[in-house]
Amino acid sequence: MFIDTHCHLFFPNFETDLDEVIDRAKNNGIDYIIVPATDIATAYKVTELASKYDFIYGAVGVHPQDCKNWDDSILKVIDELSNEKKIVAIGEIGLDYYYDYSPKETQKIAFKQQLDLAISKDLPVIIHNRDADIDMMNTIRLYNSNLKAQFHCFNGSLQDAKELIEMGHYISFTGNITFKKADALRSIVSSIDINNILIETDSPFMTPEPNRGKRNEPANVKIVANQIASTKSIPVEDVGRITSFNAFKLFGIGAKNETCFVYQLGNSLYINVTNRCNANCVFCDRKGEASLHGYNLKMNKQQEPAADVYIKAIGDPKAYEEIVFCGYGEPTIRWNIVKEVAAYVKQNGGKTRINTNGHGNVVNKRDITPEFSGIIDSVSISLNSPDIGQYAELMRVNKEMFNEMITFARKAKAYVNNVVLTVVSLDSVEIEKAREFAENVVGVNFRVRKLF
């Protein structure tokens, strides 16, 4: 359920009881552990640990505190060791201006050369940063999207975290987020997207409360996950699933989850109807990963389940606030299936919503809106933009589809209590103009939705 993405199991204080530490990790739901080296000697130890234990993976690199003798021969060894099968990253590398163990200039050279090595090997990097925020950000900005990094034991600003996420990197939190005086860190946890968060212990350091002061170990990554769950007010299962999926995306560890045909977000149950769609929106990932909050929603046409599979998975619909027909695709493409499932939900006292692009009448070659009557409580339609040209560009559809969508919304009003037009919060879309259009021109509700 959890992955400890940063843990130095080669430290001497694990020597006598490593097997017990590993057993405790397994008993606490830790599926995998990544052990990053700090120098050449520990890089060899990491490769030994990774070959001995199947659920341990490693990273090789030279830590900024250990790079004072940096030269090409060291880089060559890192390069060679990174070819080992279970070495999944270059790390930990970075800048540390808190201690004075290695000159800053040497740190910068070692850091950059190891970043270049990672890119040439198509490996992610594990970054250590202490008191070097400005140089760190300036260095990272030099690299393009080829670089994928974990910012381990993050202790920077919210602004930097957001910029790093924008560049596609991951922010990693350790036991220090449980410390009493860590309000600033917790506020970063609550402000950034969980889809860019990793969890770690940094064992044997950074022991979380209430064990602070003792040696840290991988089992405690559960405490870090619990802290993130309570700070973000989400179930710890979500933290486990999503951060493990993030580790899978960055390091390739573990396996992609099975396709979910139904998935829960908050108190609502979502029905993953299809990945097929008549549109091809620029912001949609249905042809890519098609994952959402750690759920794998990717499916091909052959995998699309029959109505009874959904009905069985729903069980008692009253257990949920709403049953939502959604996913990475257009649900009205399988309108007969949606109708059957929605009828079951209504017969059993539940509420239904369909999230659609509003092209259902074109897709089904007939007006389907009267069929909403009695089985659909809410219809949420992607307006995307009140500007016809921009609409067609964003969705990569003919301009006529804009009028089809508006007609669909107007007609739906006769059969459904709650019709909502939505836009994705993109910088290029004029939100207020869209609201005015939805509310005053079409006469329906309006909502800004997040990008998938």
**Interacting residues toward ligand SF4 by CB under 6 A:** 277, 279-281, 284, 286, 328-330, 357, 382, 395
Contact positions with Zn ion (CB under 5 A) in 370-389: none
* Token duo for residue 46: 């990491």
b/e string for 348-387 if b means 16 or more Cβ within 10 A?
eebbbbbbbbbbbbbbeeeebbebbeebbbbbbbbbbbbb
Query: Whole-number minimum distance, CB 330 to ligand SF4, in Å?
Result: 5
Give the residue with the Cβ less far from ligand SF4, 369 or 382: 382
Per partner kind, with CB cut-offs from 5 to 8 A, the member of Zn ion, ligand SF4, none near residue 261 is none
Detail the DSSP E strand segments found in 349-450: 352-356, 378-382, 418-424, 445-449
Interface segment toward Zn ion; rule CB under 5 A; list 121-129, 193-201, 274-282, 374-382: 121-129
**CB 279, CB 357: distance < 8 Å:** yes
Q: Report how far apart, in Å, the C-alpha atoms of 99 and of each of 95, 102, 103, 260, 302 are.
A: 10, 8, 10, 48, 58
Per partner kind, with CB cut-offs from 5 to 8 A, the member of Zn ion, ligand SF4, none near residue 94 is none
Give the residue with the Cβ less far from ligand SF4, 304 or 330: 330
Query: Whole-number minimum distance, CB 326 to ligand SF4, in Å?
Result: 9
Q: How far apart are CA 421 and CA 442, in angstroms?
A: 9
Query: Whole-number minimum distance, CB 448 to ligand SF4, in Å?
Result: 15
Per partner kind, with CB cut-offs from 5 to 8 A, the member of Zn ion, ligand SF4, none near residue 328 is ligand SF4
Give the residue with the Cβ less far from ligand SF4, 62 or 381: 381
Query: Whole-number minimum distance, CB 398 to ligand SF4, in Å?
Result: 14
Interface segment toward Zn ion; rule CB under 5 A; list 39-47, 110-118, 122-130, 159-167: 122-130
Query: Whole-number minimum distance, CB 337 to ligand SF4, in Å?
Result: 16
Contact positions with Zn ion (CB under 5 A) in 125-154: 128
| Phi and psi angles of residue 65, each rounded to the nearest 5 degrees, phi first | -75, -20
Q: How far apart are CA 337 and CA 362, in angstroms?
A: 17
* Token duo for residue 187: 């506020």
Task: Tell me the H-state helices in 325-387.
Answer: 335-347, 360-364
- One-letter amino acid at 180 equals K
Give the residue with the Cβ less far from Zn ion, 41 or 414: 41
Give the residue with the Cβ less far from ligand SF4, 310 or 452: 452
Give the residue with the Cβ less far from Zn ion, 126 or 284: 126
Per partner kind, with CB cut-offs from 5 to 8 A, the member of ligand SF4, Zn ion, none near residue 281 is ligand SF4
Give the residue with the Cβ less far from ligand SF4, 284 or 341: 284
247 contacts: CB under 8 Å, gap ≥ 6: 3, 5, 32, 34, 198, 253, 254
* Token duo for residue 71: 């030269």
Per partner kind, with CB cut-offs from 5 to 8 A, the member of Zn ion, ligand SF4, none near residue 338 is none
Give the residue with the Cβ less far from ligand SF4, 172 or 384: 384
Detail the DSSP E strand segments found in 37-159: 56-60, 87-96, 125-130, 149-151
Query: Whole-number minimum distance, CB 255 to Zn ion, in Å?
Result: 26
Give the residue with the Cβ less far from ligand SF4, 65 or 357: 357
Number of alpha carbons in the 13 Å side-chain half-sphere of residue 217: 18
Per partner kind, with CB cut-offs from 5 to 8 A, the member of Zn ion, ligand SF4, none near residue 329 is ligand SF4
**Look-up of token digits 């993050």:** 154
Query: Whole-number minimum distance, CB 332 to ligand SF4, in Å?
Result: 11
Query: Whole-number minimum distance, CB 401 to ligand SF4, in Å?
Result: 10
Per partner kind, with CB cut-offs from 5 to 8 A, the member of ligand SF4, Zn ion, none near residue 128 is Zn ion
Sign for the CA dihedral angle at 90, 91, 97, 101 comes to: negative
**CB 92, CB 152: distance < 8 Å:** yes
Per partner kind, with CB cut-offs from 5 to 8 A, the member of ligand SF4, Zn ion, none near residue 277 is ligand SF4
Interface segment toward Zn ion; rule CB under 5 A; list 123-131, 267-275, 295-303, 343-351: 123-131
Give the residue with the Cβ less far from ligand SF4, 271 or 277: 277
Query: Whole-number minimum distance, CB 224 to Zn ion, in Å?
Result: 14
Query: Whole-number minimum distance, CB 4 to Zn ion, in Å?
Result: 11
Residue 45 touching Zn ion (CB under 5 A): no
287 contacts: CB under 8 Å, gap ≥ 6: 280
Beta strand pairing call for 291-292 and 295-296: antiparallel
Query: Whole-number minimum distance, CB 236 to ligand SF4, in Å?
Result: 30
b/e string for 17-31 if b means 16 or more Cβ within 10 A?
eeeebbeebeebebb
Beta strand pairing call for 295-296 and 418-424: unpaired
Residues that bind Zn ion (CB under 5 A): 128
